[in-house]
A and B are shown apart, each in its own frame.
Chain A
Amino acid sequence: MIAYALRRIALAVPVLFGVSVVVFLVMALIPGDPALAILGAFATPETVARLNADLGLDQPLPVRYLIWLKGVLTGDLGRSYALDRPVLDEVRDRIGPTLILASAALSLSVFFGLAAGVVSAVRQNTAFDGAVRLLLLVGISTPSFFFGILAAQWLGVELGWFPTGGMVSLFGGRGLFDLLHHLVLPAVTLAVVATAIVGRLTRAAMLDVLRQDHVRTARAKGVAEDRVIGVHALKPALVAVVPVIGLQAGYVLGGAVYVETVFQWPGIGRMLVEAIGRRDVLLVQGGVLVVATLYVAINVATDLLQAALDPRIKT
């Protein structure tokens, strides 16, 4: 298992290299004068020239990449001119709220997705199964931004059960309850689609495993049906579901963009939307790079979890 883990981690290195090239190129290929794009239309010729020299924009592309990469590896992601502070500081402040939101949403979707998928597979073709399947279909088709504004309006503004914004800082001294209270609506909104995807896949995987011969063997031994479902069917089904849970981690990290905007959550998604709006290119670059790196790490963890579940993988 350790050898497998090391090999899997080593495989992530070229992917991270590729990610850095893509992030670099995306920003380097911005049409027009990048310094103008960074500084905005009202920049003076002097500041443009200074920035060009700062960024090494007068150098050929590969050299610029190496300069940029050296900066990245030493923790220098450049400077947001609009915010007048280092990109790394801003990203560091914003990543925490996003991680809390995304992990809450992912936990909800794994729990409810697995439960819905397992129970509806076991009760296949009953009214319950029909209702769950319909609900899951509705779930994957829900525009989370629409769901978000409806939830904010109804449960937040009209019923006043939950705050619809106002999360300024995570540890502002108002305690865990305040955090959770603010977290409910955004986390549920973000979890809807992911729950439905996990649920649909779990149901399909469970039905697939329940048809397999080894489940019949367990029943022939007289194993209790709860155990047949919970151990003999669920564990092999999880082997198929875990990679999709990894994909959902990517979905909630991306979908956080909508939810953070709707609920004014001070995370990295809202930061990116605002940065794109004012063409704060270096901030976008830094944010995307950090989140993508995080996602690569999540994918490695997912693969390791899958290997832990299925002994056939780590050969």
Chain B
Amino acid sequence: MTATAIEAPRSQGRAGALSRLVRQPLAAVGLGIVGMFVAAAVLAPLLPLADPDLAEPARRLMPPLSGHGLLGTDQLGRDVLARVVWGLRVSLAVGALATLAAAFVGSAIGLLAAFYGRFVDGALMRLVDVLMAFPYLLLALGVVATLGPGLMNAAIAIAIANVPFFARAVRGSALVVVGRDYVEAARMAGLSDLRILLAEVLPNVLPLIVVTAATTIGWMILETAGLSFLGLGAQPPQADLGSMLGDGRKTLAVAPHVAAVPGVVTFLLVVGLNLLGDGLRDLLDPRMADGRGGAPAAATAVERPADRCPSTATQDADPLLAVEALTTAFDLPSGRHAAVREVSFALEPGGSLGIVGESGSGKSVTALSLARLVASPPGAIVGGRAALRGEDIFALSFEDLRAVRGARIAYVFQDPSTTLNPVMAVGRQIAEAVAAHGGVAAKAAEARARELIVEVELPDPERIFSAYPHELSGGQRQRVGVAMAVAADPEVLIADEPTTALDATTQATALRLFKKLRTERGAALVFVSHDFSVIEALCERVAVMYAGEIVEEGPTREVLQSPRHPYSARLLACAPKLGKPDRALEAIEGGPPPIDGRPQGCSFAPRCRIGVADCAAGPIALSDLGGGRKARCIRVLEVADGRY
């Protein structure tokens, strides 16, 4: 929920596509190269070039800048510059033609297969499978062998070899479109198949066809030139870049420019086309972009201003975990915005704190910040400290931080179907948690992992040990997650919505397990949830978060019975209670402010029923109400009276 919630909205308008393309520097370079070459090829008849076919044996193999044409002459005394421009014209035209043909035939196959399904799909796709069973160039060679050498035949051969790529890509994308309601509706309305295909399905797969064409055209030009190089494509007097290169090869030792000029032009053209293709793909089909958004670093960046990272020496009197004014921000296109602001709390051994709030309230970011596990970029810890027995975690070196992770602070994550490694047996994943902190032999770690499997009450430990995550149920996977977390006997156990993905019965067993582990091991517990009843069952204290801030904190029972912040009060009124089925459930109108649009004053003020002018005037302090209770509200008395 952290990364997806803050991802920037992508504007999808077609307008300005070119300007967005040009804004990617590499794509702009590609566009420049391709534009220049295409212009030269199109304008070739108008350019002041020598006759490319005029042979002058008297000036054979003249080097560039020797007074015989800018780029010298070839083995027959023909002007190399003129020949390369005309050859480029041929290569571009043939490559574009082959791409269009492959795109047309391949897309038609893909669309028909997806639209008619069943027998048509089976037959067409088996055909595509057979074509793909040939090594790419070999299929082209076979076709040339049948049709005979020649430029058009080479282009046809390359087009045929590329048909399967288009057919597969288009079919996959069209299958999704065909299953949509509006296509079904068009069928019901009695529109003709052709009309549905062209009007409803094609427009939706067109971007994919364009992307596939843009990313394969360079390749097709290269392979067509290759066939000409082998003497199987362009035949004299016709010349493309490939046949020029093949001719130049014979005089490489004495006149390298004759081969080098067409070779470099081919290379630059294909570089340009590939840059442009990558740019188009990123633009039209971001899912196919390679490495967009980036991978998070091993630890969240810490970028605290000097005056906000107080350093203190370790003392026994220090609490087990003390979080002071923690502020974690995300870098969005609109700037850096705090997702968690000035969060403070403390825990003693055996203590337990629940953090409750809606999605986007910052509760998970708070939990992940403690061991610097917030994805970074875009996240960064920009203020405050988290001290473990007085030692600031945010000031540790990476290796020291790694020694804390798992061993002193351990995590149980929300969705065990994505948080376990899908291709590693779960027993090894547990053993790894045991062995991660050194001094444990592999055998001993495995034995300990088996014990842990029993401890978290999983059945049939031998089978579970060698099972993969997909072979387990959700509840079993969550127990594996718990076993990994307690493997190294941590002092602080942080559970980030560990029961949210589970059904009610499994949830109850999981909670019982947490309770048991807490009492048996004496670890402090931070339990993040959106569910008050779960926290009520597990935690002595609760902190309610809203829009990145703690708005209320206190002993769980007291906060539940008599909340002091209007948000906690309303949240409690929203929750169903066991045994009181008739109670009217409330809903809080509106939604929390987005991360980049939080108000100056109280974040809840826009949704609050008892707000006054002062609420929006400026930041509201978290005031101490005595008896271990705190609330960030200037109207706590009204809330206490039940007026909220």
Using CB atoms and an 8 Å cutoff, list the residues of chain A in contact with chain B.
14-16, 18-19, 21-23, 26-27, 29-31, 121-122, 124-125, 137-138, 140-146, 149-150, 153, 157, 200-201, 203-204, 206-208, 210-214, 216-225, 227-228, 231-232, 235-236, 239, 249-251, 253-255, 257-258, 261-262, 272-273, 275-277, 279, 281, 284, 288, 291-292, 295-296, 299, 309-312
Contact = CB atoms under 8 A, between A and B. Distances in A.
A276 to B, nearest CB: 5
Contact of B267 (A141, A257, A296): A141
B218 A22 contact: no
Contact of B403 (A19, A121, A222, A296): A222
A208 B287 CA distance: 11
Interface in B400-432: 402-407, 410-411, 413, 415, 418-424, 432
Interface string B142-179: 11111111000000000000000000000000000000
Contacts of B148: 279
A300 to B, nearest CB: 11
B424 A235 contact: yes
Interface of B: 3, 126-127, 129-131, 133-138, 140-149, 218, 222, 225-226, 229-232, 242, 245-246, 249, 252-253, 256, 259-260, 263, 266-267, 270-271, 273-275, 278, 290-291, 293-296, 298-299, 371, 373, 375, 398, 402-407, 410-411, 413, 415, 418-424, 432-433, 436-437, 468, 470-471, 481, 484, 487-488
Contact of A221 (B134, B398, B405): B405
Contact of A254 (B137, B231, B267, B433): B137
Contacts of A228: 298
B422 A218 contact: no
A216 to B, nearest CB: 6
Q: Identify which of A203, A208, A222 gathers the most chain B CB atoms within 10 Å of its CB.
A: A222
Nearest to A288: B142
B624 to A, nearest CB: 33
Going nearest first, the 6 A-B pairs with the smallest beta carbon separation are A254-B137, A18-B130, A204-B290, A210-B295, A222-B406, A146-B263
B135 A251 contact: yes
Interface of B is mostly: helix
B133 A276 contact: no
A309 B436 CA distance: 23
B225 A143 contact: yes
Nearest to A275: B145
A219 B406 CA distance: 8
B133 A312 contact: no
A26 B138 CA distance: 12
B141 A276 contact: yes
A309 B423 contact: yes
Contacts of B436: 221-224
27 contacts: A19-B134, A26-B146, A30-B146, A137-B278, A138-B271, A153-B253, A207-B294, A211-B3, A211-B296, A213-B415, A214-B419, A216-B373, A219-B373, A220-B373, A220-B411, A220-B413, A222-B436, A235-B424, A239-B423, A250-B135, A253-B138, A258-B230, A277-B232, A279-B145, A295-B133, A309-B423, A312-B422
A68 to B, nearest CB: 15
A311 B424 CA distance: 9
A214 B420 contact: yes
Contacts of B137: 251, 254-255, 257
B236 to A, nearest CB: 15
A217 B487 CA distance: 13
Contact of B230 (A146, A225, A273, A281): A273
A258 B421 contact: no
A292 B413 contact: no
Contact of A207 (B141, B290, B407): B290
Nearest to B278: A137
B432 A223 contact: yes
A185 B574 CA distance: 73
A130 to B, nearest CB: 10
Given A21-B130, A217-B421, A217-B484, 5 more contacts: A18-B130, A208-B291, A211-B295, A217-B413, A220-B410
B218 A141 contact: yes
B420 A217 contact: yes
A236 B422 contact: yes
Given A250-B135, A250-B136, A310-B423, A26 B230 contact: no
A216 B294 contact: no
A31 B419 CA distance: 61
Nearest to A281: B145
A205 to B, nearest CB: 9
A204 B266 CA distance: 27
Contact of B141 (A145, A211, A257): A257
Contact of A143 (B146, B266, B488): B266
Contacts of A309: 423
B164 to A, nearest CB: 11
Contacts of B232: 273, 276-277
B267 A222 contact: no
B290 A292 contact: no
A176 to B, nearest CB: 27
A31 B231 CA distance: 20
Nearest to B131: A22
A211 B293 contact: yes
Contact of B295 (A124, A138, A220, A231): A124
B274 A221 contact: no
Contacts of B126: 14, 18
A311 B145 contact: no
Nearest to A251: B136
